[in-house]
Chain A
Amino acid sequence: MKKLRISPPAAALILAVTLFLLSGLLPNGFGSDMSIARAQATNIVRLAVFLGVIAAGQTLVIISGSEGIDLSAGSVVTLTAILAYVMIKGNDSMVLPAIGVVILVGALIGLVNGIGITYLKISPFVMTLGMAGVVKGLIIILNHGNVSGKVAPIMTSIIARPVVFGIPGAILIWVVFGLFMWFLLERTPFGRNLFAIGVNRITSTLSGIHVPRMNLATYSLAGALAGIGGFLLVGNTGVVFISLGDPYLFPSIAAVAVGGTLLSGGKGSYWGTMSGAIVLTLITSLLTTMQMPESVRRMVLGGTLLMLISIYGRQRALRQ
């Protein structure tokens, strides 16, 4: 029997479109009104941007293999969002320095993760979990109950509002960001080496890749990308609180898995993560518009996730 093969990113996108079209038939759906449908679709993709950007770093560490994962992403997002918020104080001219700072802080936290994992041989899951706690502690100290700050008007107008042809700036930023990630993964030595160490670290070392250095670079980069995620997120919400980034942590891993990237490493793409982020955001917002109670919402989300990963998240069979 010949199996029909659809690549996971495409499958996720097809699923998203189908679900969206079906949602139009809901009592409070868009029905046959195309302008409302368009607005809804745009909004869902816009919301997916934040999950998508936060999941970018996650994609990198997961591709790097050896149980790579970044559980500190949620806390890094919160910390960098607060930093940006406090630094900018509603001042357009502080936006660029703030971007520099969030990238630097994110990269620094990622570097600490990388050092612990590479040189102290702590498993990524536990190391990044520990760092998540430390960063959370930092947030509480920094926050001291409340922070004063404000996002800059330019951030709101670029990230949250439509820029051209009614397309919100966030989506345009995401497209550019996606191109950057594609270039990084597919067209640079870093990307090539990343896939190589994800498949097999011993053969990579033998073929001249400096694996420890790659590992450090990957985790630092993941931290920096989470920092960018925090910056974008605060531009959208306009407010900060100490659990701002937490709801994005596990969905960022789920988005990577749904997008067809192997959690064991060595295979995957950022396109996959992008469509994974769109599907997850769509399902979440559909469940919200259907006005289900929180309990049912969680159950349906869990069930859907199980279904999605059952379709193409299966590992190799034991018997070859």
Chain B
Amino acid sequence: MNRRRWNQLLLRYPFLFALILLSVAILVNAILQPTFFTRESLNNNMRVFLPLMILAVGQAVVILGGGIDISVGGILSIVNTILATQVGLNGSPEKMWIYVGLSLLAGLAAGSLNGFFVSVLRLQPIITTYATSFLFFGIALYILPNPGGGIPQAISGLYRNTTPLGIPLAIYVIVLILLGWYYLRHSRYGRYLYAVGGKAEAAYETGVPVVGIQFSTYVISGLMAAIAGIAMSMLTGSGNADIGSAMTLNSVTAVVIGGTAFSGGVGGIAGPIIGAMTLQMIMNIISFANIDTWWQTFVNALIIVIALALPGLLNLIQGRKK
């Protein structure tokens, strides 16, 4: 394949590179773990991967719109603590679904707060969502000062064992999100979103409701963080106010590995979903590869940096050849 063709393909399908990366990761993982392709292990993996994948989708929408959301981990934590304290290990499933609804509302509210400060007051996104993340983690810690609580066994069992047609539940969730995105992407909203992310001033001049679009990206991100929080709670079955803190920055890395440009306006959400899978697959590989415990963090980070650097490296090499 010649270079121009490849670049055109990449422009059209920004997630292509991430897909190659994921394929390599799957291959290595399958070699190290012979049971990788069994139904049970696939379901297990997807179940663990799902929260970060959903989080990355929300992050991708914000980044596409030219912003960033550092508070997603805090929102996830709030949802986790609400479910763990209010439903409890012995709660009834009905109670669970009521609080799932409330959690979604909490996510929307938190996202609206971010949206208000960033789009209406026009504060800088990175520092604003950093400030609100303090607020959100504070609230989560207020709800549940010490790790504990939980959700009914039946519910976490449902999340673990539901595999309609033998396909993991997580796949259905992802397909649903992708369908929703496909619809949004091709609506007027989608065109506006890319316009705002590309250049907000120019979009404003041509009559795009920039403030509304920016606001909406944070609301979507808040909602996605809440869904991720629900999935996370079902996965762990317990509560911890600190559970989201490690996931925020991972969601940003997932978006960028997935080929969505950090500067906004380029990319989609398929890439970030693949990126989130790849990131977690790398961690799997490291734990299966018998790497010395002391070296794991380093190797993991190094692989991520190399993955981030590869597209740029290829470009440089191709530039030389020309």
Q: Which of A's residues lie within 8 Å of B, judged by CB?
A: 67, 69, 71, 116, 119-123, 125-127, 129-134, 136-138, 140-141, 144-145, 250, 253-254, 257, 263-264, 293-303, 305-306, 309-310, 313-319
Contact of A310 among B117, B142, B296, B297 (CB under 8 A): B117
Q: Which B residues are in CB contact (< 8 Å) with A293?
A: 142, 145
Shortest Cβ gap from A25 to chain B (Å): 25
Q: CA of A250 to CA of B253 in the docked complex: distance in angstroms?
A: 17
* Interchain residue pairs A-B with the least CB separation, the first 9: A137-B298, A120-B312, A133-B301, A302-B134, A298-B138, A299-B138, A123-B262, A302-B135, A295-B141
Asked whether any CB of chain A lies closer than 8 Å to the CB of B20, the reply is no
- 14 further A-B contacts with Cβ under 8 Å, apart from A71-B249, A250-B130, are A67-B263, A116-B309, A129-B249, A130-B305, A130-B308, A131-B305, A137-B295, A137-B300, A295-B139, A298-B135, A302-B135, A306-B123, A318-B204, A318-B211
Given contacts A67-B263, A295-B145, contact A134 B302 (CB under 8 A): yes
**8 residue pairs bridging A and B, Cβ less than 8 Å apart:** A120-B316, A122-B309, A122-B312, A133-B301, A300-B138, A305-B134, A309-B123, A319-B204
Q: CA of A39 to CA of B123 in the docked complex: distance in angstroms?
A: 36
Task: Bin chain B's interface residue count.
Answer: 35 or more
Q: CA of A297 to CA of B304 in the docked complex: distance in angstroms?
A: 34
Cβ contact within 8 Å between B304 and A130: yes
Shortest Cβ gap from A297 to chain B (Å): 7
Cβ contact within 8 Å between B134 and A299: yes
Q: Which A residues are in CB contact (< 8 Å) with B298?
A: 134, 136-138, 140-141
Cβ contact within 8 Å between B121 and A310: yes
Q: CA of A299 to CA of B78 in the docked complex: distance in angstroms?
A: 13
Cβ contact within 8 Å between A315 and B123: yes
Q: CA of A181 to CA of B204 in the docked complex: distance in angstroms?
A: 39
Contact of A309 among B128, B261, B302 (CB under 8 A): B128
Shortest Cβ gap from B222 to chain A (Å): 16
Helix, strand, loop or mixed for chain A's interface?
Answer: helix
Chain A residue nearest to B119 in the complex (CB) = A318
Q: CA of A123 to CA of B313 in the docked complex: distance in angstroms?
A: 14
Cβ contact within 8 Å between B124 and A263: yes
Q: Which B residues are in CB contact (< 8 Å) with A134?
A: 298, 301-302, 305
Q: CA of A141 to CA of B291 in the docked complex: distance in angstroms?
A: 12
List residues 120-145 of chain B with CB under 8 A from any CB of chain A.
121-124, 126-128, 130-142, 145
Chain A residue nearest to B255 in the complex (CB) = A126
Asked whether any CB of chain A lies closer than 8 Å to the CB of B220, the reply is no
List residues 224-263 of chain B with CB under 8 A from any CB of chain A.
249, 252-253, 256, 261-263
Q: Which of B's residues lie within 8 Å of A, judged by CB?
A: 68, 117, 121-124, 126-128, 130-142, 145, 200-201, 204, 210-211, 249, 252-253, 256, 261-263, 294-302, 304-305, 308-309, 311-313, 315-316
Cβ contact within 8 Å between B130 and A254: yes
Give the residue among A119, A141, A263, A295 with the most B Cβ atoms within 10 A.
Answer: A295
Chain A residue nearest to B118 in the complex (CB) = A315
Cβ contact within 8 Å between A137 and B302: yes
Contact of B135 among A126, A303, A319 (CB under 8 A): A303
Q: CA of A44 to CA of B263 in the docked complex: distance in angstroms?
A: 38
Given contacts A122-B312, A123-B262, A133-B304, contact A314 B121 (CB under 8 A): yes
Q: CA of A221 to CA of B287 in the docked complex: distance in angstroms?
A: 36
Contact of B132 among A129, A137, A306, A317 (CB under 8 A): A306
Cβ contact within 8 Å between A302 and B301: no
Given contacts A126-B262, A253-B127, A310-B117, contact A317 B122 (CB under 8 A): yes
Q: CA of A85 to CA of B221 in the docked complex: distance in angstroms?
A: 43
Cβ contact within 8 Å between B262 and A314: no
Cβ contact within 8 Å between B142 and A306: no
Contact of A140 among B136, B210, B297, B302 (CB under 8 A): B297
Given contacts A126-B262, A127-B308, A309-B127, contact A133 B297 (CB under 8 A): yes
Shortest Cβ gap from B259 to chain A (Å): 12
Cβ contact within 8 Å between B309 and A318: no
Cβ contact within 8 Å between B138 and A257: no
Q: Which B residues are in CB contact (< 8 Å) with A301?
A: 134, 138
Cβ contact within 8 Å between A137 and B299: yes
Cβ contact within 8 Å between B312 and A121: yes
Q: Which B residues are in CB contact (< 8 Å) with A122?
A: 256, 308-309, 312
Q: CA of A129 to CA of B301 in the docked complex: distance in angstroms?
A: 9
Q: CA of A133 to CA of B132 in the docked complex: distance in angstroms?
A: 24
Chain B residue nearest to A300 in the complex (CB) = B138
Cβ contact within 8 Å between B263 and A123: yes
Cβ contact within 8 Å between B137 and A298: yes
Q: Which A residues are in CB contact (< 8 Å) with B200?
A: 318
Q: CA of A319 to CA of B207 in the docked complex: distance in angstroms?
A: 11
Q: Which A residues are in CB contact (< 8 Å) with B263?
A: 67, 123
Chain B residue nearest to A140 in the complex (CB) = B297
Cβ contact within 8 Å between A120 and B127: no
Cβ contact within 8 Å between B253 and A129: yes
Give the residue among B142, B210, B296 with the most A Cβ atoms within 10 A.
Answer: B142
Cβ contact within 8 Å between A125 and B252: yes
Q: CA of A278 to CA of B134 in the docked complex: distance in angstroms?
A: 19
Q: CA of A49 to CA of B128 in the docked complex: distance in angstroms?
A: 24
